[in-house]
Amino acid sequence: MSGRLAGAGERYGAVAALGLLVAANAAFTPHFATAANLGNVLIQAAAAVLVGAGVTLVMATGGVDLSVGSVMAVAAAVAAQVAPAGGAGAAAAAGLAAGLGLGLVNGLLATRFVVEPFIAKLGMLIAARGLAQAAGGGAGAVPLDCPAFERVLGSGAVGPVPVPVAFAALAVAAALFVVRATPLGRYLLAVGGNAAAARAAGVPVRPAVLAAFAASGLLAGLAGLVEAARLGAADPANLGGGMEFAAIAGAVIGGTSLRGGKARPVGTAAGVLILAVIGAAFNMLLVPFAWALVFQAGLILAAVALQRPRRD
């Protein structure tokens, strides 16, 4: 009975916590529960949700993707370079291609060159940050000289839903579909549960891991485009900075283990949104953001402590 309760807590805890947090803020934080404010929070969190969906897939295999923030910056910088001459479509395609390409490099480093994922990602985090600046011409923030791009990705809407939010929701749904209903999802979880056993059981370990990294790169690229469109510029040095930790923290809160073998895309989205709502609420209550960091840190610890294995 308590085991089933704990299972439910692990599965839906983050979503429930998010609901509680939003309800509490709606009751106590002035102007929190307005459509405009909630829309803003969602739009600002869209990039982190996108990144989180990809990071969740990588974490399912037992890896960590530390490079997503830098990959976002590369995609944004590439798009900003292409946009003035090539138009919105070409810019988006080029940015996504850059993200996908870097994701594939990450995957190849992890699967073919026997580099531990952590090191591969660290190297990519460092290198891609430089690449982003090189792609941006090395002169600081590049204005996104493309109204169409900003209009669609930045301020566009599908019915009442802002485009970035729609993309984020789609990404979460896609990740959930992959994990729950496809062979790839089963492979990812098998690799994360026990790579040697998975290999022995005939699971195509390398292609599965490569696919997870590629998806993470592609989604990070999309997140970079969304951020650039929202801000109207690609700042290669800062765009996406710290995003890797925000996404991993969101995933951890949502019940995806760093040990691998578990993937909860919806939980990750809830976790990322919890962190975003805390940030927004502290901001609206005029509490210095620094305290939001403290609160968020406590929350991450609490979430992990609640989800830790009974005994390992």
Q: How far is the CB of 153 from another protein (least distance, A)?
A: 25
160 vs 42: CA distance, rounded Å: 13
Three-state SS string across 35-78, please?
A: HHHHHHHHHHHHHHHHHHHHHHHHHHCCCCCCCHHHHHHHHHHH
166 vs 218: CA distance, rounded Å: 16
**Residue with smaller CB distance to another protein, 70 or 216:** 70
**Residue with smaller CB distance to another protein, 6 or 152:** 6
Please list the helix, strand and coil fractions of the chain in percent, rounded to the nearest 5, in that order: 75, 5, 20
Question: Does residue 291 touch another protein according to CB under 8 A?
Answer: yes
Question: Does residue 298 touch another protein according to CB under 8 A?
Answer: yes
Question: Does residue 119 touch another protein according to CB under 8 A?
Answer: yes
Question: Does residue 286 touch another protein according to CB under 8 A?
Answer: no
**Residue with smaller CB distance to another protein, 236 or 265:** 236
Phi, psi of 146 (to 5 degrees): -160, 90
141 vs 239: CA distance, rounded Å: 9
173 vs 269: CA distance, rounded Å: 10
**Residue with smaller CB distance to another protein, 124 or 266:** 124
- Tell me, by CB under 8 A, how many residues bind another protein: 48
Question: Does residue 300 touch another protein according to CB under 8 A?
Answer: yes
- Looking at 134, 148, 170, 197, which residue binds another protein (CB under 8 A)? 134
Residues 6+ apart with CB under 8 A from 152: 88, 163, 229
- Longest pairwise C-alpha distance within the chain: 63
As to burial, measured by CB atoms within 10 angstroms (0-12 exposed, 13-18 middle, 19+ buried), residue 297 is: exposed
User: Which of 96-104, 117-125, 163-171, 200-208 is the region at the interface with another protein (rule: CB under 8 A)?
Assistant: 117-125
- Looking at 7, 23, 40, 118, which residue binds another protein (CB under 8 A)? 118
Q: How far apart are the first and last CA of the chain?
A: 21
Q: How far, CA to CA in Å, does 123 sit from each of 66, 109, 162?
A: 9, 10, 35
**Residue with smaller CB distance to another protein, 98 or 163:** 98
User: Which of 10-18, 114-122, 144-152, 172-180 is the region at the interface with another protein (rule: CB under 8 A)?
Assistant: 114-122
Q: How far is the CB of 57 from another protein (least distance, A)?
A: 18
Q: Which of residues 58-87 bind another protein (CB under 8 A)?
A: 64, 66
- Looking at 15, 47, 109, 273, which residue binds another protein (CB under 8 A)? 109
Question: Does residue 288 touch another protein according to CB under 8 A?
Answer: yes
User: Which of 36-44, 92-100, 219-227, 302-310 is the region at the interface with another protein (rule: CB under 8 A)?
Assistant: 302-310
Whether 106 contacts 120, CB under 8 Å: yes
**Residue with smaller CB distance to another protein, 153 or 234:** 234
Helix (H, G, I), strand (E, B) or coil at 142: strand
Q: Which of residues 157-216 bind another protein (CB under 8 A)?
A: none
- List of residues contacting another protein (CB under 8 A): 64, 66, 109, 113-116, 118-120, 122-134, 138, 236, 245, 248-249, 252, 258-259, 288-294, 296-298, 300-301, 304-305, 308-309, 312
